[in-house]
Structure 1
Amino acid sequence: MNKRKSKAQWMSLIKEYNSSGLNLTAWCREKEISKSSFYPYLKSFKAPASEPSEQRWGTVTIPKSTEASSISLKVGTITLDIKNGFDKETLIDVLSVVMKLC
């Protein structure tokens, strides 16, 4: 007779599944757990989409000379060259998009 699992046990199984690298069908088969009983817990314990994601840092390069004509801003694999006289509103819009992508 199968013993009912506690919420903590289901959460532990979900962590184990997430780190296994296996697809749901293969993992459930390996653990001898019914996919139809596991899936509702998997779905209900997922982190809400509104939780903040891991923060990633970029680098800013500011030239030593005050006469330089640009600043390079590197975020992940994206590099922005910001020239003197840039439009601040446009930069804010671009940075907003870049941060969503990273």
Structure 2
Amino acid sequence: TRTWGAAGDFPVPADYDGDFRADVAVFRPSTGQWFRINSSSISFEVSTWGADGDKPAAADYDGDGKADIAVFRPSSGIWYLLRSTQGFTAQTFGISGDLPSPTAFIR
């Protein structure tokens, strides 16, 4: 058994490096940081993306086979995506109070 993350972190395992294996990752909403270990290289990465109150919603939004870092902001209904190949985008989809439901729509 290994400990990963801190109290209040959200687990967000996904294939961030495109090797068809889930990578260990957590989102820390208090700081907006994502911590992950890529399974292909065993490398540790930290990304800052999101704010307190955001909900993590990692998925492959750009269809490149790698999970993209994304958060949904329930207070505004805006999705903030940091796509692995196409950079940043923000899209309104939903209304205040909604919860995200990411999944692998594209593969």
Shorter-normalised TM-score: what interval? Answer: under 0.3
TM-score, normalization by structure 1? 0.25
- Greater relative contact order (Cα 8 A, min sep 6): structure 1 or 2? 2
- Larger fraction in helix: 1
TM-score, normalization by structure 2? 0.24
Instruction: Give the greater-gyration-radius structure (CA).
Output: 1
